[in-house]
Every structure is written in structure tokens, then in C-alpha cells.
Chains A and B, each alone.
Chain A
Amino acid sequence: MLYRMAINRHNYEIYFIDYHEGNLPPDREEELMAFLEANPDLKKEFDEYPEEPLLADQNIIFRNKKLLKKEESSPEFSENDQMAIAYLEGDLSADDKLRADSMLNEDDHVQQLHEQYLSTRSIADYSITCPDKAELKKKSNVAFLLPQYLRYAAAAAIIIFIGITAYFRFTPADEPRITSLPQRLETRPAGLIEFQADCLVLESRNDPPSSIQMSWREEGIPPVRLASIHPLAITPSPQGTYAAILFPRPFPVSGSDVFAMDTEVKQKSLVGKIFSGFFNKASAPFSIENKSNRAGKSDKLSIWDIADLGMQGINVLGDHDYTLVRKYNEDGNVKGVVVAGK
């Protein structure tokens, strides 16, 4: 670089950088040191430039130096260049700016130089905009996109929780439930003498079905469609009519059982009432349920009742319309459960 002008407070940075980069000629070094003595306030800034601690090995040389040479000559700083750029960048003091203004008015060359530097200013093209700005917006931190199986698992956990809660808090229903029938033997239809404990008992709050497909737990017994249903006991309740329908086994049996209506009404707790309401709503769509409420069994809620209860609780809380639909195999055992919803 050529140094056309003496070091001053407007151009000292070039001297500083070139000195620390080892590019300052010796005569300019002396000038720089004299300047620093005259301007001690800049000494600190001068010292802040990093020194080069490593000395180059002069024995290592690069052979193809020609390749490194640039075509263009290095930029030169004349005093007028310095002033014109400082004027453009607003770096001049008030006094220097006044001086520059007068030079601009009086000297055509300075005026031309100023215009040339003005033309080096880049103007942004505001018609260029960033495409797909929507992609730059912040995405939600929580992506509530659970896999489907996790949703079912969460629903199952809630069902189990509600079911267990109901199991321990729910008092037996005040609706009639069929247990045994010692006093109602006279209501048995003619011809149905023998009853087995594992006869199927259906409950319905509506009218008994006109026919039903029967499957038996014992292997080798084909399913039977009963066209004639004989209600053994019909008990009205606030929710509808309860019908107990006993189906005899289609083979000789030994022994018999008796059935009766247990109409004892027990007081329910508040929680029990709530869950009872859920339960009633849940079971309403099923006019006939394939509940094999075996006679003689405990009157506690079955696991399916609990599941239905939990599901209905979910429906009420979440305004859903899900139902648990159970699939039975030929043996009458549950082979699967499907959560169905609209």
C-alpha cells in the first residue's frame, strides 16, 4: 500500500492494522511511533491489537507466487479519498465537515470524487423478499401428536382408573338384579323344568328380543337359535322393564337351580349416583346385552360393567360417543374388545 498522506486521527487505524500485520514500511513505523507519542490516548487502542507471537520459518517458501498476485492494484488512499469517504460515512468532526463542505463547493475535483464515492453505496432491492416466511415462524414447543396406540393407552388408563374408583365407591345398584328365583317358580313356562346354574340370563330394560342366538361354553354343542323367548320375571324400574329370560341347556342336566328377583334397594353414595348415571347412559344403547350374568354369581360389577362405566365417564367428560363393543368367540368367551365411536 502506498501511504500518500501522513498519519492523523482520521487514518491512524490503517497504520495500526498494517503495523500489527507486519505490512508497515520502516519509515512509516517511525512516523507511527511519533504519532503515538503525540496522541497517548490512542496508545491503549494500539496495544489492543493482537501481536503475532509466532515467527515464520523463513526457510519455507511458496514457489508459485505468481498465482497469488492480483490483477488490480491495491487501493490507494489519498487525502481527498480519505476525506470523501469520511464525509460519506459521517465520520468527520463538525469542523472537518465544514471544511469539507467548502471544498465541495469550491473544488470540482473534490465534488466529482464525492459523487463517485456516493455511487459506491449499495441500495437494497426491496422487491427481493424472503420466500416461505411462514417456515420461519416459531413452531409450537409441544407437539401434541401422540401415536394412536398411545392415545388408546391413555384412554385405557383413564378407564381403568375410573373403573377401579367406581369399583370401590359404587354401592350396588338400586335396580333389580337377578340372582335367584325361589318364589317365582310358578312363572316358569311350561316344559322348562330343569335349570342349570350356567344357563344364560339376559337382562333388558326394553322388551325381550323375539329370538336370540345362543352359544354354549361346552365344546361340541352347536349354537342354537331360540325363536321363542320366555320371560321368567318382568320387573318395572324407572329406567324401563327388566326381563329375566332363562334358557335351558339343550341336553340332560343333573340338579337344578332356583332364581329370584332381588329388588332390595340400597342407598347409593354421591359418587355411586354419578357413576350409576354414567352406567345407565352407557347401557342405554344396548337393548339386549350379551352379558352372561351367570346365576349365582356375585352381584358385584363385572369388569365389563366397569369398563363401560369408565368409557361413559370419558364420553360425558369429553363429550364423546365411544362405546366398548365386545366380540365373543364360539365358546362364549370374549375374544376381543373394540372401542367404537361415531
Chain B
Amino acid sequence: MHADGVFRFILKNLRNEHDAQDIVQDSFEKLWINHKKLDPGKAKSYLFTTAYHTMIDHIRKKKYSGSIEDIPETSNETFRDYSDLREILDEALAKLNEVQRSVVLLRDYEGYSYHEIGEITGLNESQVKVYLYRARVYLKNYIVSPEHVI
């Protein structure tokens, strides 16, 4: 079962447990519907692909309906005292767009190659690499910025 991995990936993106659970269930439902057409070794990739696209649709719908919760912006005026690097990184991840965030999470959580991430997200390998590099630079700059220095 890859349910936990998919769930963590979606939850990290949406930060809403209920929505993440719905998307995981939706992905598994599609998997069972199409399992005869699938190579058994591709089940995990299929799950992530389905979950990713369902999540993107979900985000777009919420954005369109105006119901998406804005990520609370960190004030640049006050120096925040962080005791946990993970918190800062989570905050930085939340500021990435969903494609860049997904590329980072698929790379870090699941260890997918550029090619595999490309299959999941519909990008080519070069795009994946560039998105990942740019996301890394952004995350690094966010972490080392004065207000986020631990």
C-alpha cells in the first residue's frame, strides 16, 4: 500500500487532512477501476500521478471559487524566533507554487528521478530539473534570510 506516501505528499501540498484523504480515496478508486490496464509495477506511479492531477484540479477549483485559504504571510518587519528548521522549511515550501512544491516533495519524499517526476507532473525532464533547482534556491534563500535564521 502506498496510501501513506500519497497521503503525506498531498497533505503537505494542501495542508488539509480531509481534502488529502478525499484525494487519496479518489486516486485509489481510479486505480481499482483501471487496474486491469495497468502494469502492476506502475501502480505507485499511477497513484501519485492521479493524486497530483486531482490535487491540481482541486487547487484550481478552490482558487476559482475563492475558497482556498491563503497561506499566512510571514511578517518581514518582525524578527521571528524559530526553534525548528522544519517549521521554516515548511513555511518556505508553502510559498512555492504547487508545481515547484510537488517537484521538491516527489524528489525528497519519494526519491523519484527527474524522469519519474516528469511522468507524474506532465513536465519534461529539463523542466523538472529547472523547477527543482529554482525551488532549491528559493528554499535556501528563505532559510538563510535574516528573519529566519535560527
Contacts and interface: CB of A to CB of B under 8 A. Distances in A.
A, B co-complexed: yes
Interface of A: 13-14, 16-17, 45, 48, 71-72, 75-77, 81-82, 85, 88-89, 91, 116-117, 119-126, 128-133, 135-136, 138-139
Q: Which 4 A-B pairs have the closest CB atoms?
A: A130-B7, A75-B137, A13-B126, A120-B139
B5 to A, nearest CB: 8
Given A130-B7, A130-B21, 18 more contacts: A13-B126, A17-B126, A72-B141, A72-B142, A77-B137, A85-B137, A120-B89, A120-B139, A121-B108, A129-B4, A129-B7, A130-B3, A130-B4, A130-B24, A132-B21, A133-B3, A135-B25, A139-B32
A296 B109 CA distance: 89
A145 B105 CA distance: 43
Q: Name, among B104, B134, B138, the residue most crowded by chain A CB atoms within 10 Å (CB to CB).
A: B134
A136 B140 CA distance: 37
16 contacts: A13-B127, A14-B130, A14-B133, A77-B133, A77-B137, A89-B132, A116-B144, A119-B143, A122-B89, A122-B109, A123-B86, A123-B108, A126-B4, A136-B25, A138-B32, A138-B35
Contacts of B130: 13-14, 17
A131 B25 CA distance: 10
Contact of A75 (B8, B24, B32, B141): B141
B115 interface: no
Interface of B: 1, 3-8, 11-12, 17, 21, 24-25, 28, 32, 35, 76, 85-86, 89, 92-93, 104-105, 107-109, 124, 126-127, 129-130, 132-134, 136-144
Contacts of A136: 1, 3, 24-25, 28
| Chain B binding surface SS class | helix
Contacts of A45: 126
Contacts of A91: 129
Contacts of A88: 136
B81 to A, nearest CB: 18
Nearest to A11: B133
A130 B133 contact: no
A125 B8 contact: yes
A124 B108 CA distance: 8
A124 B25 contact: no
Q: Name, among A75, A76, A125, A139, the residue most crowded by chain B CB atoms within 10 Å (CB to CB).
A: A75
Contacts of A125: 8
A71 to B, nearest CB: 7
A311 to B, nearest CB: 41
Contacts of B35: 138
B8 A116 contact: no
Contact of B85 (A119, A129, A131): A119
Given A71-B76, A117-B136, A128 B8 contact: yes
Contacts of A17: 126-127, 130
B105 A122 contact: yes
Contacts of A138: 32, 35
A18 B47 CA distance: 31
Given A75-B141, A128-B4, A120 B136 contact: yes
A16 B133 contact: no
A16 B4 contact: no
A130 B6 contact: yes
B134 A75 contact: yes
A120 B100 CA distance: 13
A149 B129 CA distance: 62
A119 B139 CA distance: 9
Contacts of A77: 133, 137
Contacts of A135: 25
Contacts of A139: 32
Q: Name, among B21, B92, B137, the residue most crowded by chain A CB atoms within 10 Å (CB to CB).
A: B137
B44 to A, nearest CB: 13
A119 B93 CA distance: 12
Contact of B124 (A48, A119, A124): A48
